[in-house]
Amino acid sequence: MRTTFQEELDGLEADFQQEGSIVLRSLRGALSALESQDVELADEVIAFDDEVDARYHEIEKRIELLLARQTPVATDLRLVLGILHNNIRLERIGDQCVTIAKLTKLTSHLDTKRSLIEGFEEMGGRSEQMIQVALDSFAERDIDGARSLVELDELIDRGNRRVTQQVLALAGEPAMQEWGMRMIVVSRCIERIGDNAVDIGEQTAYVVTGEFREFTDASHPSGRKL
């Protein structure tokens, strides 16, 4: 029944997952460029964002047509809306990668602090993991998997705070100040990527349960139903 519709839905979801891998690739490129101060790679990441944007627009267009022509309801509707929401999140993550790459370029001529770079390696790895988990849980409609993102995000947040402290500790080294400030922004980008991944996870819960519930919220740390 409704084979065309089912094919469209499956195709849409496949496109979304593919967009996810593209974005992951972009992230890896950005982190690698950051760690090795590789300007060429950074340029590639920036150029590659066009690909991410193209996918983003394509998915939006597909969703528009799907809603107009197939009038999905119930689970189908939630799935489509979930993908619509996550599509934006992925695009944002892509933008964060670009920002990281741009900062890499800006600071390529500056000295670095090994400890901070190692911190980013860890944080970056975490964020990659989070995106993977988010995409996988969405594909499998795994709410528990999605929930686990909260803990992972906590680790990134801690990492972010550590970076801030370490940069403040650099106050005594004026030559490092510019680099330090830039790295705070980089840290912020990675932290934002983590938040976006959690958002993707929340959509998994929405698609399955039909309720939108934030996993954690600043004002209600135990989770608040909206």
Partner 1 sequence: MSRPPQGQSTGGTLIGVDPRSATEPKPRESQAAERPVLFDVRDLGVRYGAHVALNNVSMKIYRNQVTAFIGPSGCGKSTFIRCFNRMNDLIESARVTGRVLYHGQDLYGPDVDPVEVRKLIGMVFQKPNPFPKSIYDNVAFGPRVLGLKSELDERVERALRSAALWEEVKDRLKMNALSLSGGQQQRLCIARCLAVEPDVLLMDEPASALDPISTAAIEDLMHELRSDYTIVIVTHNMQQAGRVADMTAFFSVDIGDDGQRTGVLVEYDDTQQIFTNPADERTEGYVTGRFG
Give the nearer residue to partner 1 in terms of CB position, either 38 or 199: 38
Query: Minimum Å distance from CB 44 to partner 1?
Result: 6
Contacting residues toward partner 1, per CB under 8 A: 1-5, 14, 17-18, 21-22, 25-26, 28-29, 31-33, 36, 38, 40-41, 44-45, 48, 51, 54, 57-58, 61, 64-65, 68-71, 139
Query: Rounded CA gap, 46 and 65, in Å?
Result: 30
Query: Minimum Å distance from CB 161 to partner 1?
Result: 27
Give the nearer residue to partner 1 in terms of CB position, either 33 or 156: 33
Give the nearer residue to partner 1 in terms of CB position, either 32 or 177: 32
Query: Minimum Å distance from CB 65 to partner 1?
Result: 5
Query: Which tokens hold the place of 84?
Result: 């619509």
Give the nearer residue to partner 1 in terms of CB position, either 11 or 223: 11
